[in-house]
Amino acid sequence: MTPFLELAVPLVSKSLTFFLGTGFSKYLTDNAAPSWLELLIDLADRIDDKKGSLTDKLFNTETDGRKASKYDLYVSAQILELEYKKRREDIREAVVAVLKDRINSKTINAKRVNGLAKFFEAHPDVNLVTTNYDTLLSDYVLAGRFSRVFIEGSTVPKANIGTNIFHLHGCISDPRSIVLTINDYFKFQHRDTYLSRKFFTLLQETTVIIMGYSLGDFNLNSIFNEAQVSRAVSLRKSDIYLIARESVDRTITDFYSYTYGVRVVAAYEIDEVFANIADSAAVAQKLVDQAESLDRVLQGSTRWTDEYLKLDDSFQRILLQASSIGVPVDDVNFKKMLLDALERKRQFSREDNAWPQYEHLADWLVEIGCLIDVKQAGIAKEYLQLVDYSFRYMRKELIVGYSWAAFRVWQARFGELKIENQNLIREYVAHAFYGAADVNEILSSA
């Protein structure tokens, strides 16, 4: 299952937040919007009256011609602020000038802006959080429609209509609010403000899609760390998704998943992400509308039909419905329902011509292993027995009586399981005998 249906469910449930970085503004301006490094270089150039002397003190020129900061960017910004003060100039007013020069009606990509405008017009109840200083969202993407812009130190909008835009690090519409230097950042980190409280509330209560940030961004990793400490366990693979334009090595994606609970969705352009989520919205709405049937199952007043559970995607639909209505992972009735569905799927595989059911069972076991620490949930015994059954009736080669498709599922997805579940299965397998090397090949694939 692609992540986009998972993201469309909170979209239609009005619990989706987009966290947008510099790369987002660059995307909408065909790279005209400056990165933070480019912004600082522009700021240095504006007051460098000795033909590059100040710029050379702060930035190196690499062999490929690109500039690199000699210091942490916040430190470089602090040095620049001092240089501006020496000249009796305001560096934040200069930030406003630079951004207006580089982000305006001549530099925006109208096609991309219009595409996003249609998305937000159809789904105005999302939250937009950004560390960008520019007003690209309110001036262009949401132009002509009401939006509530939140900037620390400015009046909090009272009208509860329109799309929320939270400028965490300030905005050029109020230059005093801009978090630019190392001193600004320390104050921001240690000050309990309305925006900081609101942002961490959104991290806890909504699904967050992060766009336009690099994986190595220090600010981003600080946010991930704090969110992971306080976030409740969810019935989703993640409640924080980071979109990367380029392919990302599995070692890195595993690190973010295990350390922060962040799911990296790689090799997608920004417009593809919005289009795919929008395309999944209709199916997501049906899932949310039908979630009451899950509640009846949990209460024991009804049971899933065999015909429904024989479908490949019925299990994923159940999990998405559970997340949409906030069923806790440790709910006793929910765990009983999961085990019942898995056991019935195992029984279906024993019927005549039921080879797809072996593949489904393997896929479902992986889904559970991605979401829940089965030992901590108290279902390790039942889960391992089902894994054992799946392993015993699969083979890498096409052999009569064994499922080749189930092997493919385990081989491709074993590494997606929580590390705790991978180790639990390895320990279990060490004391079992399967008569083939296929299982060992799966275990060594992660």
**What is d(CA 380, CA 63) in angstroms, rounded to the nearest whole number?**
55
Q: Give the pLDDT confidence score for residue 435 in this predicted structure.
A: 65
Angle value at C-alpha 251, between 247 and 253, nearest 5 degrees? 60
Assess whether 148 and 118 both reside in one domain. yes
| Assigned token pair, 18 | 């987009």
Q: What is the CATH number of the domain that holds 162?
A: 3.40.50.1220
Q: What is the pLDDT of residues 312-362, one digit of tens each?
A: 889 989 998 998 888 888 889 999 999 999 999 999 999 988 999 999 999
In the predicted model, is pLDDT for residue 12 greater than 60? yes
Tokens (6 digits) for 17: 């937040």
Both 25 and 79 in one domain: the answer is: no
Mean pLDDT over 441-446 rounds to 84
The alpha carbon of residue 125 and the mean position of all alpha carbons in its chain are separated, in whole angstroms, by: 18
Q: Give the model's pLDDT for residue 218.
A: 64
Quick check: 397 pLDDT over 90?
Answer: no
Phi, psi (deg, nearest 5) at residue 111: -65, -45
If asked whether residues 165 and 227 sit together in one domain, one would say yes
Map residue 142 onto helix, strand or coil.
Answer: coil
pLDDT, position 337 = 94
- 26 shares its domain with 63: no
Q: Render pLDDT for 70-93 as a digit per residue (tens, 0 to 9).
A: 999 999 999 999 999 999 999 999
Which residue type sits at 398?
Answer: L
Window from 106-120, 287-301, 361-375 with minimum mean pLDDT: 287-301
Do 87 and 196 fall within a single domain? Answer: no
Does residue 434 share a domain with residue 342? yes
pLDDT at 165 over 60: yes
Please tell me whether residues 216 and 80 are part of one structural domain: no
For 120, the enclosing helix (H) or strand (E) is helix 110-122
Q: Give the chain's domain count.
A: 3
Q: Bridge-partner residues for 17, per DSSP?
A: 127, 208
In a domain, 284, yes or no: no
